[in-house]
Structure 1
Amino acid sequence: APDSLMQALEDLDYLAALDNDGNLSEFGIIMSEFPLDPQLSKSLLASCEFECVDEMLTIAAMVTAPTCFLHTPPGTEEIALSCWRRFSHPAGDHFTLINVFNAFKAATANPTDPGNNEKWCRDYFLSSSALSMAEMIRAELVEIMKRIELPISEPDFGSEENLLSIKKALLSGYFMHIARDVDGSGNYLMLTHKQVAQLHPFSSYSSTRRIPEWVLFHEFSISEGNSIRVVSEISPHLFAELVPQYYFSNLPPSESKDILQEMINHLAPASATKEEQK
């Protein structure tokens, strides 16, 4: 449809993938090297700047592969949830996916027992084919990074600095995928349009009592009951710091936009002072 094509071009423009003539920019050409959604390519490239490439490669592979969480047989939902809780990360679903992938790699590291792969996944209600696919995608992305000579930072998952860096890299690509819980009960209103969404049942936040106010999400699905999938808490201050002004000014009016505008106004004098000190 022409509308969706225009939207796709607009998104590429916001991601700095197009030049003034509407052709791919130098940055856009590098983004197109990766067989990923533009937002994900942008986040992966941003991770070079924020030195969290190892972790971002894992996230990119896990969200590109089919979901690793299996639909459980009736009566086993609680057991599956308690298994998945072992991987749950307080920073959100993107970080939980890193935990799942790292645990899968550790459990299947023994080449003498290939059957262990299937058994481990069955025990945790995880899809071994999805995780194997993620492993293959990640290896392919590493090869592309090496071919175009991009730096791959050392793994540092778990440190506070690393968690913040991952959120910055994610925000660099997914600033268009931000939602706010408007009533404290998990009804998320997206910044881009007046659509209300709920957390996907597989979200690690679904099994906790703490529902974050501001989130970054990987995708929105109408077919799965207007849910947002792969969700991590985000600080509105961080969003205000990293959002392209050109994109922000085009957002429709909303209470959320007003809150963010105030934060941007507070940030502006600070950044002006920094410039003067240079």
Structure 2
Amino acid sequence: MVVLLLKSLGINDLLGFEFMDPPPGETLMRALELLYALGALNDRGELTKLGRRMAEFPVDPMLSKAIISSEKYQCTDEVLTIISMLQESASLFYRPKDKKLHADQARQNFVRSGGDHFTLLNVWEQWADTNYSQQFCYEQFLQFKSLSRARDIRDQLAGLCERVEIAVDANPNSNDITPIQKALTAGYFYNTAQLQKGGDSYRTLKTNHTVYIHPSSSLFQFQPPVKAVLYYELVMTSKSYMRQIMEIKPSWLLEVAPHYFKPADLEQLATGDKKMPKGQGAAPASTRP
């Protein structure tokens, strides 16, 4: 986000820029690679039209790319909600010691197909239907403060959408979640993983690391296991766990990130080949030290 901001201010010599607390050169290069892969920079390291729109949002560039992509897929309303809920997802549900079974059942009742992102969307929609009731949160074992923060975030993002002329429209076909999944994948294609042959672990497509579904996910112990997933964050404990997971189709990666993924990468997905994707975006030549 800092690199995107500096680029939007016309500062192109990032390696020579006098940071108060200079980041390692490798960190800067990774940031440039990500922004290039997201389409915010061209192959000369210059800010694109998309990059200028992304810079209007004071959030992680992957989030802003998902928001802007939602315009194409006509689902900005749902994507804003999901993104806002993701920010508070770690503290959304609570589980009193004397009501663990009730809390678990209440949480299970919110689960929707497609993954955790749609469970969060369902929580929001049910809460909104009660006119943002605090009593509803109490009855459903939800943190009212966390939901209220998500509502504030959503209001701010909706205001920024208006500033960059993105209409906050809802998905015209509420039964089809594919547009929402594609919009989110457009921003988070870096955070994707494929199921390994054993069926109990996944391997990240970008870094080739072994990762596992977090036990709190609705897709944990899902049978048969989902073949390809997108995750919001990795949590490192005894293993690397993916949190807030959504099912994806590998073919979407070619559609939303054609300069990052190539047809050969999809063949690797289909065959379970563990090689690094050949289409991995490199930093633009003019930005290399």
What CA distance in whole angstroms lies between the structure 2 residues aligned with 1:253 and 1:3? 28
Give the Cα–Cα distance (whole angstroms) in 2 for the partners of residues 100 and 27 of structure 1: 31
Tell whether 2:141 aligns with 1:125.
Answer: yes
Alignment deviations for residues 16-54 of structure 1 (CA, whole Å, 9 cap, x no partner): 101343232221111011122111111110110111111
1:32-83 Cα deviation digits (max 9, x unpaired): 1112211111111011011111111101111123534335244644432221
Query: CA offset at residue 94 of structure 1?
Result: 1.0
Aligned partners of 2:25 and 2:229: how far apart in 1? 30
Asked if the contact 1:55–1:157 (Cα under 8 Å) also holds between the matched residues in 2, the reply is no
Does structure 2 retain, via aligned residues, the 8 Å contact 1:200–1:228?
A: yes
- Aligned counterpart, 1:22: 45
Counterparts in 2 of 1:54 and 1:239: CA distance versus 1, 3 Å: same
Q: 1:187 aligns with which of 176, 195, 201?
A: 201
Structure 1 residues 124 and 236, CA gap change in structure 2 (3 angstroms) = same
How many residues end up aligned between the 2 structures? 249
User: Contact 1:192–1:252 at 8 Å: present in 2 too?
Assistant: no
> Which structure 1 residue ranges, 5 or more long, are not aligned?
110-115, 261-278
Are 1:218 and 1:231, in contact at CA under 8 Å, matched by a contact in 2? yes
TM norm structure 1: 0.80
Q: C-alpha separation between the residues in 1 aligned to 2:171 and 2:152?
A: 18
Structure 2 unaligned residues grouped into runs of 5+: 1-23, 274-289
Amino acid at match of 2:57: F
Percent identity, aligned pairs only? Answer: 31
2:128 alignment partner AA: K
Please say which of residues 223-232 and 13-22 is displaced more in the overlay: 223-232
Provide closer, same or farther for how the CA distance between residues 242 and 21 of structure 1 changes in structure 2, counting only shifts above 3 A. closer
Give 3-state SS (helix, strand or coil) of 1:180's partner.
Answer: strand
Kindly indicate whether residue 258 of structure 2 is the aligned counterpart of residue 248 of structure 1. no
Confirm or deny that 1:204 pairs with 2:227.
no
1:274 aligns with: none
CA contact (8 A) 1:178 1:215 kept: yes
* 205-214 vs 138-147, which moves further: 205-214
Amino acid at match of 1:149: E
Asked if the contact 2:38–2:257 (Cα under 8 Å) also holds between the matched residues in 1, the reply is: no
Matches of residues 8-157 of structure 1 in structure 2 within 5 Å? 8-74=31-97, 76-109=99-132, 116-117=133-134, 119-156=135-172
State TM-score, norm by structure 2: 0.77
Residue 251 of structure 2 corresponds to which residue in structure 1? Answer: 237
**What RMSD over aligned residues (CA atoms) do the two structures have, in Å?**
2.7
Contact 2:253–2:261 at 8 Å: present in 1 too?
no
- Determine the C-alpha separation between the residues in 2 that align with 1:84 and 1:94: 14
CA shift, 1:248, in A, is: 2.6
Task: Pick closer, same or farther for the CA change 1:102–1:253 going to 2, 3 Å.
Answer: closer
SS at match of 1:227: strand
